[in-house]
Amino acid sequence: MQGNMSEEQIKCTPLCDKHVALGAKMVPFAGWNMPVQYTGIIDEHNTVRTACGVFDISHMGQFLASGPGTTEWLNGMFTNNLHKLVDGMGQYSMMLNEKGGVIDDLIIYRMAEDSYFIVVNASMIDVDYAWLCDHKPAGITLENKSADFVGLAVQGPTCEEVFAKMCPGVELPVRNGILKFTCGGDELYVCRTGYTGENGFEFFCPAAQGVKWLECVIASGAKPCGLGARDSLRLEMCYSLNGSDLSPEKTPLEAGLSWCCDLTKDFIGVEVLRKQKAEGRPTALVAIEYTGKGAPPRHGYEVQLPDGTPLGELCSGVLSPSLGKGIGMAYVPAALGKIGTEVNVIVRGKAVPAVIVKKPFLKK
């Protein structure tokens, strides 16, 4: 969790009072006051794996970019290839610095030719917007609309039933698709994406109508869930968290995300990635699973070889509710990061036996 901010600096989403009324435990995260849990992390985690949960993602940012030449401009800013998109489809991508390090990972949706809806991470809204503005050609419009939206991530096997009750007669888009439509008098966006590994969608409505739509989602069959469950769900699937698993010092190739980097096109940082592909990456983000008993793994815990040789530190770690064991991810020297390598995680001075495993931890 990201904190270290004064109370005056902590922001609240339009749903904060509703979260408190629903019994949520609130914590600071990425500069926002957010629910970490309601009934309990394990209960909420299992609900998403077996039924349906709803998360407040209103802290995340939304940009609109449009105008002649927008596609070519953004294609030079992001790692994935926008020319693969058709109207109504999105893709996972990254924005890099000149050294190939990750500024942010994001999802970009093509609404129409040279018109895009971009969803960015909460802690990076201002940084991303400034970076894009600094590189924006004349004639292109870039708008930060983050304050205008409430976002809800509805995730789990029964999400389609929930949406059918929320918006009767409206069909969800296909995987990675986006639909802009009107329902209940509000202009809405629904994106067929998520951060849990389950069937789901992300739903954006006008900020002033956020409480109404959260109540509608709950009444339609989704259980309120907090950031604790979201973290354990995403880590079981080895989905990276910006600021922990992704950083300006590590490239997407080191993070194991070469699949969203088209090295045949030019974008900021591409030369570093091309060199790493040719010569080898120095480190690799690996998945580490407990083989022995120990306290839950956490960010910053040291990872060693059995002989005590330091390998790195955990970027993320949690006790997996689905697997019943500790799991985490860490950057280790690429040559030492082979699957099956036995390691120790140092927890409060004690060595907990573990092993490097194939991603993801939870095989769907």
Per-residue pLDDT tens for 12-28? 999 999 999 999 999 99
Mean pLDDT of 132-137: 98
- Decide the pairing of beta strands 11-12 and 32-37: parallel
In percent, the amount of the chain with pLDDT more than 70 equals: 98
Mean pLDDT of 227-241: 98
- Residue 226 three-state SS: coil
What is residue 31's DSSP assignment? T
Does position 7 have pLDDT exceeding 60, yes or no?
no
Per-residue pLDDT at 364 = 79
Mean pLDDT of 134-152: 98
Does position 3 have pLDDT exceeding 90, yes or no?
no
Does position 229 have pLDDT exceeding 90, yes or no?
yes
- Residue 232 three-state SS: helix
Does position 1 have pLDDT exceeding 90, yes or no?
no
Q: What is the mean pLDDT of the chain?
A: 96
Does position 270 have pLDDT exceeding 70, yes or no?
yes
Q: E-strand spans in the chain?
A: 11-12, 25-29, 32-37, 53-56, 61-66, 89-96, 102-112, 115-120, 141-144, 149-155, 178-183, 186-191, 200-206, 223-224, 283-290, 302-304, 310-320, 325-333, 342-347, 350-357
Per-residue pLDDT tens for 239-269? 999 999 999 999 999 999 999 999 999 999 9
Per-residue pLDDT at 2 = 37
Per-residue pLDDT at 6 = 41
